[in-house]
Chain A
Amino acid sequence: MLELKNITYEVEENGAVKRILDDVSLTVEDRRFVVITGPNGGGKSTLAKIIMGVEKPTSGSILFDGADITELSVTDRAKLGISFAFQQPVRFKGLEVKDLLRIAAGRELSIPEACSYLSEVGLCARDYVDREVNASLSGGELKRIEIATLLARNTRLSVFDEPEAGIDLWSFQNLIRIFEKMRAEIKDSSIIVISHQERILRIADEIIVIADGKLSRRGGAEILPELTGADAPETACERLQ
Chain B
Amino acid sequence: MLKLDEIQKRLISEVADLHSVPEGAYNFRANGELAGRNSTANIEIVSKPDGSGIDIHIKPGTKHESVHIPVVLSNTGYKETVYNDFFIGEDSDVLIVAGCGIDNCGAGDSQHDGVHRFFVGRGAKAKYVEKHYGSGDGSGKRILNPVTEVYMEPESVMEMEMEQIKGVDSTVRTTVAELKEGAKLTVRERLMTHGSQDAVSEYNVTLKGENSAADVVSRSVARDDSSQTFNARITGAAPCSGHTECDAIIMDNARVLAVPSLDAQNVDAALVHEAAIGKIAGEQLMKLMSLGLTAAEAEEQIINGFLK
Query: Using a CB–CB distance below 8 Å, which chain A residues touch chain B?
Result: 52, 54, 73-75, 78-79, 83-84, 86, 89-90, 92-96, 99-100, 103-104, 106, 149, 153
Interchain CA distance A95-B287 in the complex, whole Å:
13
Contact residues in A for B304 (Cβ distance below 8 Å): 94
Contact A75 B305 (CB under 8 A): no
> Does any Cβ of A come within 8 Å of B34's Cβ?
no
Q: Lowest 6 A-B CB distances belong to which pairs? A: A95-B305, A94-B305, A78-B292, A94-B306, A74-B289, A90-B287
Q: How large is the interface on B (under 10, 10 to 19, 20 to 34, 35 or more residues)?
A: 20 to 34
> Chain A: which residue is nearest B294 at the CB level?
A75
Instruction: Say whether, besides A54-B286, A74-B286, A93 and B306 are in contact (CB < 8 Å).
Output: yes
How many A-B contacts if CB must be within 8 Å?
62
Instruction: Say whether, besides A75-B295, A90-B281, A90-B283, A52 and B305 are in contact (CB < 8 Å).
Output: no
Residues facing A in B264-308 (CB within 8 A) are 281, 283-284, 286-295, 301-302, 304-308
The majority secondary structure among interface residues of chain A is mixed
CB pairs A–B below 8 angstroms (6 shown): A52-B290, A54-B290, A74-B286, A75-B294, A78-B289, A153-B291
Contact A75 B293 (CB under 8 A): yes
Contact residues in A for B288 (Cβ distance below 8 Å): 103
Smallest distance from the beta carbon of A146 to chain B beta carbons, Å? 9
Contact residues in A for B287 (Cβ distance below 8 Å): 86, 89-90
> Chain A: which residue is nearest B301 at the CB level?
A103
Contact with B291, one of A54, A93, A96, A104 (Cβ below 8 angstroms):
A104
Instruction: Say whether, besides A93-B305, A93-B306, A74 and B284 are in contact (CB < 8 Å).
Output: no
Contact A92 B290 (CB under 8 A): no
Contact residues in A for B307 (Cβ distance below 8 Å): 94
Interchain CA distance A150-B281 in the complex, whole Å:
21
Contact A92 B295 (CB under 8 A): no
Interchain CA distance A135-B148 in the complex, whole Å:
33
Interchain CA distance A73-B286 in the complex, whole Å:
10
